């Protein structure tokens, strides 16, 4: 038995499946909502939406109305339902760009435990949804890189600044620490202020102040070498 | 036609069947504050028939 490229075969041959889906589509347009198995609802959905699209095209007058009506009649044999589809259902969806049906799962059926679903025509008025703004993601992305160099700086401060990977930040800290060291090496308060400035440049609070003091003493020894 | 050579012992039968375990499904409480029943996730509530987020529910059943 040939199987569909997408979706389930529904335990029948191609012709039988076409008939079953046609019946489901007819009932859906007649009643607006039907309860069926989840697999049948998933097979029905694209078929029903394409039928609504044909009805919409005829309604908007872009193509010949009679041809669209005959195309739909190939699937839905009930002329009353087709008339209701073209005159009542299609105009409702003039604004909506697809997505005319909605599937809601309602759990397994008693008897054979088949997963059931409700497929219904969407009755709400179309309201375009606002997409997520990119600045929020960009703002969320920028703090993350800013945190990492700070943590690396504290690590390098603890490891006696032998690693010169953090050259710019370490140099700024070293320059200000050198000035503070020249004025008064023992003045811990000024060293903390200089460390605070260096840390503000690195977008970090006072956590690294104690480490910066150690860095100041060590950077002075490094500066004598340089 | 291939047929079993021996009768399967009661012990082997029971060992095999002891591996069949039922697992309790994980449930969520209904978003409807008036209902608050337990139901399967991503399914409509069987008690009140509503489905959706807490502030965007709709009557399904």
Nearest CA in chain B to A109: B46
Instruction: List chain B residues with CB under 8 Å of A105.
Output: 42-44
Yes or no, beta carbons of A118 and B42 under 8 Å apart:
no
| H or E element in which residue A168 lies | helix A167-183
DSSP letter at A111 equals T
- Residues of chain A with Cβ-Cβ distance to B39 below 8 Å are 107
Residue-by-residue pLDDT tens, chain A, 226 positions: 888 888 889 999 999 999 999 999 999 999 999 999 999 999 999 999 999 999 999 877 777 889 999 999 999 999 999 999 999 999 999 999 999 999 999 999 999 999 999 999 998 888 887 765 555 554 444 444 444 444 444 444 444 444 444 444 445 555 554 555 555 455 555 545 455 455 554 444 444 444 555 555 555 555 544 4
CA-CA distance, B4 to A84, in Å (whole number)? 63
Interface check for A67 against chain B (CB to CB < 8 A): the answer is no
The total of other beta-carbon atoms located within 10 Å of residue A195's CB is 26
ipTM: 0.81
**pTM, two decimal places:** 0.62
- Residue A34 tokens read as 């039907």
Number of H helices, E strands in chain A: 10, 3
Summarize pLDDT for A196-219 with one digit per residue, the tens: 455 554 444 444 444 555 555 555
Q: pLDDT (tens digit, 9 = 90+) per residue, A117-154?
A: 999 999 888 888 776 555 555 444 444 444 444 444 44
Q: Tell me if B43 and A105 make a contact (CB, 8 A cut-off).
A: yes
Q: What pLDDT does A55 receive? A: 93
CB contact (8 A) between residue B39 and residue A107: yes
Q: Å from B16 to nearest chain A CA?
A: 25
Contact at CB, A107 and B46, closer than 8 angstroms: yes
Residue A131 in contact with residue A56, Cβ under 8 Å?
no
- In this structure, are residues A32 and A121 in contact, taking their beta carbons and an 8 Å threshold? yes
Which residues in B lie closer than 8 A to residue A104 (C-beta atoms)? 44, 51, 60
């Amino acid at each position: 038995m040939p199987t569909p490229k997408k979706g389930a075969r529904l335990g029948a041959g191609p012709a039988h499946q076409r008939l079953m889906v046609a019946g489901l589509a007819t009932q859906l347009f007649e009643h607006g909502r039907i309860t069926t198995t989840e697999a049948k609802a998933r097979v029905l959905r694209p078929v029903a939406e394409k039928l609504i699209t044909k009805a919409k095209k005829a309604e908007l007058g872009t193509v010949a109305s009679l041809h669209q009506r005959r195309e739909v009649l190939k699937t839905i044999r009930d002329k009353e339902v087709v008339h209701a589809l073209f005159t009542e259902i299609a105009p409702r969806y003039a604004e909506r760009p697809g997505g005319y049906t909605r599937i809601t799962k309602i759990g397994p059926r008693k008897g054979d435990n088949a997963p059931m679903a409700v497929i219904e025509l969407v009755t709400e008025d179309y309201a375009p949804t606002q997409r997520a703004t990119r600045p929020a993601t960009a703002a969320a992305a920028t703090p993350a890189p800013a945190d990492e160099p700070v943590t690396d700086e504290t690590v390098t401060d603890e490891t006696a600044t032998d690693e010169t990977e953090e050259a710019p930040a370490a140099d700024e800290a070293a320059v200000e620490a050198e000035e503070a060291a020249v004025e008064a090496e023992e003045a811990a308060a000024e060293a903390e202020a200089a460390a605070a400035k260096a840390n503000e440049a690195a977008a970090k609070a006072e956590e690294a102040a104690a480490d910066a003091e150690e860095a100041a003493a060590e950077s002075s020894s490094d500066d004598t070498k340089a | 036609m291939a047929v079993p050579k021996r009768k399967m012992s009661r012990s082997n039968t029971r060992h095999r069947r002891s591996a069949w375990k039922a697992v309790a499904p994980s449930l969520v409480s209904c978003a409807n504050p008036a209902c608050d029943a337990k139901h399967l996730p991503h399914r409509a509530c069987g008690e009140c028939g509503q489905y959706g987020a807490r502030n965007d529910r709709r009557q399904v059943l």
